[in-house]
Amino acid sequence: MRGPLGAVIGRYPSSDGSEQMGSIIRHNRKCRDLVFLVIFIAFWVAMIVNSSFGFNQGNPLRLTYGLDYKGNVCGDKHAKGLRQLELKYWLNPNQVYLSGLKDNQFKLANARSICLLDCPNPSEDSLSWVCDYPEGDIRLSMDDWIDRNYDYYEFLTPEMRNTSLQLQGPCYPVIFPSVNVYWSCQFIARPSNVSLRHWQQMGGVNINEDIIIDKSIHRSINSRSSVLKRYMADIGKAWPVLIVCGGILPLFLSVIWLLLIRHFVAAMPWITVGLFNILITAVTMFYYLKAGWIGNDAISPIIGEHDPYIRISGRELTHLRAAAVFMTFITVVAVLTSIAIVRRILMATSVLKVAAKVIGEAQALIIFPVIPYTILAIFYMFWFSAAFHLFSSGQVVQNDCNLNCCVYDLLSKRVNCDRCCGYSIHYTPHIGVAILFHLFGGYWATQFFIACSSTVIAGSVASYYWARGETSPEIPFLPVFSSMKRLVRYNLGSVALGSLIVSFVESIRFMLESIRRRLKVAGTTPDNWFGKAVYHTSRFSLRCIEWTIKSANRNAYIMIAITGKSFCKASAIATDLIISNILRIGRVNVIGDVILFLGKLCVSLSTALFAFLMLDTHRYRSAHNKISSPLFPVLVCWGLGYVVATLFFAVVEMSIDTIILSFCQDSEEHQGTAQYAPPLLIETLNDQNEMQRLTQ
């Protein structure tokens, strides 16, 4: 049975026995849920160890560039002479052809490849060559080799020339034109007749001209693992966009929104709904533009200048088109929903007025979210850097291909058939576990800092409520910092537990969703109506559980700030209060939450829109910094914008929830008449005519 909280958050007896308004929030607290605080600290230590593994083993260049025949990463400044050589080129066209045959065991990863500055093309009047890196008897520097277009065939001995005509190196003919497709030279299955004739006249072995040579490289470039690596690389290349659109812009927009709520509260619900519809439509149109369904600005996998008749498609374009279709559906649903709630917006206006009053009285609340924002910004810089290294970690090892392939070795001056296999990056199972651990840690840390911010705001607003909505000399000059002190001293364990529960439920939902997608791809989803009903009901139920837990957590943080109870007890108190007063506050609170949710989406959609605009500049459309698709950078900016908006909008959100919960407790302790409620709140919730209108 829940005891009265009046002695906890209302008046208290002073040392002389008289009742005074002093201890607005209970001061005789205890440290709660210490076990979970210890778990959280241990988890952070594990995060640091896990990240150090990534920094030690990873190389983000692997996400973009390929490996050469020595196992070096193209463009790696630590590899001798490869700093500016970013493109991977396959030297032996017959090996590329063999890798495309279904009944052949030869893999493209074992085909001899080299790093070049640009993709070579056949000469119009002679036969061009691309030779191995100069070493041994070839007395050329890397710069001279590049200046000669990678060709030193004229310096070869008769033996070397003979092995070159057998496609064993050290020089290989340029028969097929190629284009730069995501930093790999994609062969075009249109061999040069002039080069082919010269090759045949010199006595070279037969070169296969089938279109398979084109498809083999394209299949490798377009594989799921390659696309995922490029998506991760896109996020790294677009770091200025993440800082501006994912950090600075949402900070600015969130503060502007809070100031507008403070001064133009009556108009803000209407402005928010209208702006949301405009922004979501604009973002959807950008997806259509980049998918090529509107205009001629579709993304292209080809980097640099090329023949306009050459058209190569990629998975990135397919993903953008799927995103455009999904955004179309979301836009239609959003517009129809906003139309449906128009008549209810007045409810949000009335309850937002109370929050605006609180912000006006405790103006430090507007500035406070800058503190968790700064902490999260520092954390995200570390987290993203570690994520790039973890995704690119692994060991470069030479493949064990067991194939009868031979190449001329310039150092040993002979044909070597023992070490002709290519190199690959070997991923062990523990790397996948480390990545999942890192993702979970990032989500838990985000929820933890948001929860800390919400608890501090709740404590500050509760001080305002239990002072009857007036600025009292008995309230600390800076209630925000007093609330922060209580949080750090007593309640970090409770906040760690609440954020862990949300993270755990979200992780389970993510894993089940991944299993669902795999079953769908494998074609093992249920076919009968009962199986489909269970299938979709389970998804819906899990989402409902997730939403319920998040809502319960938010109210639990309020009661933690007020009472200093442990997380479970505070959650029980909050749930009991809400259930007892659901008819009185439910609709007002829900509509207010909807408007605030739309406000967060307005901020995050604005960051996505500006991210599209920044990524559409020349810097990210060509050469070194070209991104494969704007999809992931935009989504990351969207997510970061939503997190920042959540921090700042919590000022209004937690103000409303804290005042309503305090009002319910106040009314319950005083036979239905709130004694400490500010006049504006009483006018909003207790006026008979207003309540009748709200409950119609």
One-letter amino acid of 694: L
Given a cut of 50, whether residue 2 has pLDDT beyond it is no
The Cα–Cα gap between 632 and 599 comes to 23
Tell me, yes or no, whether 552 and 648 share the same domain. Answer: yes
Residue 557 lies in a domain: yes
Residue 258 lies in a domain: yes
The residues, ordered by sequence, that sit 6+ positions from 63 with a Cβ below 8 Å of its Cβ are: 229, 230, 232, 233, 236, 388, 391, 392
Lowest mean pLDDT among 18-22, 28-32, 339-343, 394-398: 18-22
The residues, ordered by sequence, that sit 6+ positions from 274 with a Cβ below 8 Å of its Cβ are: none
CB of 626 within 8 A of CB of 303?
A: yes
Residues spanned by the domain of 439 = 225-296+311-694
CB of 97 within 8 A of CB of 167?
A: no
453-481 mean pLDDT: 70
Q: What is the pLDDT of residue 379?
A: 95
Tell me, yes or no, whether 582 and 621 share the same domain. Answer: yes
Q: What is the pLDDT of residue 550?
A: 61
Residue 382 lies in a domain: yes
The Cα–Cα gap between 212 and 256 comes to 57
Residue 73 lies in a domain: no
Q: 5: pLDDT confidence band, cut at 50, 70 and 90?
A: very low
Tell me, yes or no, whether 204 and 248 share the same domain. Answer: no
Residue 301 lies in a domain: no
* Number of compact structural domains in the chain: 2
Angle at alpha carbon of residue 205, lines to 142 and 105, rounded to 5°: 85
Given a cut of 60, whether residue 476 has pLDDT beyond it is no
Q: What is the mean pLDDT of the chain?
A: 81
Q: What is the largest CA-CA distance in the chain?
A: 113
Which H or E run contains 396?
strand 395-398
Given a cut of 80, whether residue 332 has pLDDT beyond it is yes
Tell me, yes or no, whether 147 and 238 share the same domain. Answer: no
The residues, ordered by sequence, that sit 6+ positions from 669 with a Cβ below 8 Å of its Cβ are: 4, 5, 6, 10
Q: By percentage, how much of the chain surpasses pLDDT 90?
A: 28
CB of 628 within 8 A of CB of 314?
A: yes
Render pLDDT for 280-320 as a digit per residue (tens, 0 to 9). 999 999 999 998 898 888 888 888 777 767 778 788 999 99
| End residue of a domain, out of 222, 249, 281 | 222
Residue 173, SS3 per DSSP = strand
Residue 519 lies in a domain: yes
Taking the CB of residue 248, how many other CB atoms lie within 10 A of it?
Answer: 13
For the entire predicted model, the pTM comes to 0.85
84-88 mean pLDDT: 90
Q: 47: pLDDT confidence band, cut at 50, 70 and 90?
A: very high
Render pLDDT for 589-600 as a digit per residue (tens, 0 to 9). 666 777 888 899
Tell me, yes or no, whether 494 and 384 share the same domain. Answer: yes
Q: What is the pLDDT of residue 4?
A: 46
Tell me, yes or no, whether 92 and 240 share the same domain. Answer: no
**What is the chain's Cα-based Rg?**
32
Tell me, yes or no, whether 216 and 231 share the same domain. Answer: no
Report the Cα 279 to chain-centroid distance in Å. Answer: 20
Report the sign of the C-alpha dihedral through residues 600, 603, 606, 608, in that order: negative
517-542 mean pLDDT: 58
Q: What is the pLDDT of residue 253?
A: 94
The Cα–Cα gap between 328 and 443 comes to 28
Given a cut of 60, whether residue 522 has pLDDT beyond it is no
Tell me, yes or no, whether 115 and 231 share the same domain. Answer: no
Structure tokens at 411: 């150092």
Render pLDDT for 655-684 as a digit per residue (tens, 0 to 9). 888 887 887 777 777 766 767 776 666 666
The Cα–Cα gap between 265 and 254 comes to 15
